[in-house]
Amino acid sequence: MTVQIDRDRNYSTLSLVSPIPPPEDIRLDRAIRLGVMASGSGTNFEALAQAIDNRELNAQIPVLIYNNPEAKVKEKAKKWNVPAILLDHRIYKRREDLDRVIIEVFQQNQVEWIVMAGWMRIITSVLLDAFPNRVINIHPSLLPSFKGVRAIEQALESKVKITGCTVHLASLEVDSGPIIMQAAVPILPNDTPETLHARIQIQEHKIFPIAIALAAKQFGFQ
Amino acid sequence: MTVQIDRDRNYSTLSLVSPIPPPEDIRLDRAIRLGVMASGSGTNFEALAQAIDNRELNAQIPVLIYNNPEAKVKEKAKKWNVPAILLDHRIYKRREDLDRVIIEVFQQNQVEWIVMAGWMRIITSVLLDAFPNRVINIHPSLLPSFKGVRAIEQALESKVKITGCTVHLASLEVDSGPIIMQAAVPILPNDTPETLHARIQIQEHKIFPIAIALAAKQFGFQ
């Protein structure tokens, strides 16, 4: 078990990362199949694709689902040769209807784990029941502080001095399932939402692949 | 502005401490007079007394108030030659009555800042109005997570992976006033309330004197 500290001169990567088991304890015996869901720029998706490419995470991403036609994650998926499917949430009357199509897409692609990499829609029990303990979420705060939208703005407004990010299993209550990993970063006096977001993202990209392997070991069938 | 990282081999002092201004920016021009309130073992009181003795904090403690006849802080006060006054909360009918006596003791001793160093009683607006923005509290969690009693047990039960401590100005709502400093520590897999408390206490003793100087500079009349 190691606990990681990173620092550099301008503090952009300064962090405290929660304990990580030795690499041999979280090495996956075979490539797990991840279905990724994203709504935005896709930096977390790309961090996973990169970690897989670097053989740091034994996984494959057979399919990515995005809900916003303008989402830049679409281009990142193309770059990494991951098939990207648009499921525009606006054409579904109820959240459950969208979730049923997501399940259909993921099951057809033999997805084992769902990874919400900046998915900005609320999921329902329909999706969670189809993938019990198999939906992983990443959130830009040290949960249980600052759940929900605008987590980074919430942290700045509340004037805390330390915030971070959390990878956890999704549950029906938003941003509340069992925590897998966390990383803490300082809030600096002149931080804006943008500078703080950038600092947190560096940690997200670092812990997300490790946390997925950890979850596959802890909660999974490996 | 520096951000501190400490680590040692067994992780007992591993932490991420929120930004600290350069020493010259928080050096106090004269010794501020601190009235300390404590209910327990007095380790935070002793950390302050030690920091004053080491000339790390330009302050004096003319008087300590404790509310529990058995509190070990009484012995620590004796060791550091600080007059300790027992105000047993059980003899006061209302919280406000106790607060009025506390004010009387502190005003007679020309106290400028009140420092709650593990004071386990709820204070009222009577005390806050007499020392506006002059009451400092320390709490063993990364606020706003885990307010109130049993903060360390709350963190363990919620299975977060990172917790810490917070120094803040007291307000009427418990554990909610403006934050001055925070320090984050990892929760390790085999932690008990005792081992986690010990890890947090090391950080409390480190940030408390710095945060008091910072508060005196930021909110004070220095």
CB–CB contact A161 B181 (8 Å): yes
Per-residue pLDDT reduced to its tens digit, B62-80? 999 999 999 999 999 999 9
Partner A contacted by B179 (CB < 8 A)? yes
Among candidate residues B89, B139, B168, B205, the one labeled active-site is: B139
Per-residue pLDDT reduced to its tens digit, B25-64? 889 999 999 999 999 999 999 999 999 999 999 999 999 9
CB–CB contact B162 A142 (8 Å): yes
CB–CB contact A161 B178 (8 Å): no
pLDDT for the residue numbered B154: 98
Give residues with Cβ within 8 angstroms of A147, minimum separation 6: A139, A141, A174, A175, A176
| B181 → chain A, closest CA residue | A161
Which residues in chain B have Cβ-Cβ distances shorter than 8 Å to A219?
Answer: none
pLDDT for the residue numbered B7: 54
Q: CA A212 to CA A114: how far, in whole Å?
A: 10
Per-residue pLDDT reduced to its tens digit, B97-117? 999 999 999 999 999 999 999
Which are the catalytic amino acids of A? Answer: 139
Q: Cα distance from A52 to chain B (closest Cα, Å)?
A: 25
Q: Please check the confidence at residue B10 and state whether its pLDDT lies above 90.
A: no
Contact (Cβ atoms closer than 8 angstroms) between residue B162 and residue A164: yes
The full set of domains in chain A, from first to last, is 4-18+25-219 (3.40.50.170)
Per-residue pLDDT reduced to its tens digit, B163-176? 999 999 999 998 89
Q: Which of A19, A178, A186 sits opposite B188 (nearest CB)?
A: A19
Q: Which of B16, B158, B188 sits opposite A1 (nearest CB)?
A: B188
Partner A contacted by B101 (CB < 8 A)? no
Sheet holding A2-6, edge to edge: A2-6, A15-20, A179-186, A162-169, A135-139, A113-116, A32-38, A59-66, A84-86
Which residues in chain B have Cβ-Cβ distances shorter than 8 Å to A161?
Answer: 18-19, 179-182
pLDDT for the residue numbered A218: 84
Active site residue B197: no
Q: Cα distance from A188 to chain B (closest Cα, Å)?
A: 7
Share of chain A above pLDDT 70, in %: 93
Q: What ipTM does the predicted assembly reach? A: 0.90
pLDDT for the residue numbered B222: 47
Question: Mind spelling out the 3-state secondary structure of chain B?
Answer: CEEEEECCCCCCCCEEEEEECCHHHHCCCCCEEEEEEECCCCHHHHHHHHHHHCCCCCEEEEEEEECCCCCCHHHHHHHCCCCEEECCHHHCCCHHHHHHHHHHHHHHCCCCEEEECCCCCCCCHHHHHHCCCCEEEEECCCCCCCCCCCHHHHHHHHCCCEEEEEEEECCCCCCCCCEEEEEEEECCCCCCHHHHHHHHHHHHHHHHHHHHHHHHHHCCCC
CB–CB contact A16 B16 (8 Å): yes
pLDDT for the residue numbered A222: 47
Q: CA B139 to CA A107: how far, in whole Å?
A: 48
Tokens matching residue B101: 């006596």
Cis peptide before B178 (omega within 30 of 0): no
| B178 → chain A, closest CA residue | A159
Q: Please check the confidence at residue B5 and state whether its pLDDT lies above 70.
A: no
The per-residue pLDDT string of chain A (222 residues; one tens digit each, 9 = 90 and over) reads 566 655 554 556 678 999 888 888 889 999 999 999 999 999 999 999 999 999 999 999 999 999 999 999 999 999 999 999 999 999 999 999 999 999 999 999 999 999 999 999 999 999 999 999 999 999 999 999 999 999 999 999 999 999 999 999 999 998 899 999 999 999 999 999 999 999 999 999 999 999 999 999 987 754
Please report the residues numbered 112 through 171 in chain A whose beta carbons come closer than 8 angstroms to any beta carbon of chain B. Answer: 142-145, 158-162, 164
Q: Cα distance from B208 to chain A (closest Cα, Å)?
A: 14
Q: CA B49 to CA B54: how far, in whole Å?
A: 9
pLDDT for the residue numbered B4: 61
pLDDT for the residue numbered A5: 58
Please report the residues numbered 192 through 211 in chain B whose beta carbons come closer than 8 angstroms to any beta carbon of chain A. Answer: none
Question: What is the DSSP secondary-structure string of A24-45?
Answer: HHH--SS-EEEEEEE-S--HHH
Give residues with Cβ within 8 angstroms of B16, minimum separation 6: A5, A14, A15, A16, A162, A184, A185, A186, B3, B4, B5, B164, B183, B184
pLDDT for the residue numbered B79: 97
| A157 → chain B, closest CA residue | B178
The DSSP bridge partners found for residue B35 are B63, B114
Per-residue pLDDT reduced to its tens digit, B124-179? 999 999 999 999 999 999 999 999 999 999 999 999 999 999 999 999 998 899 99
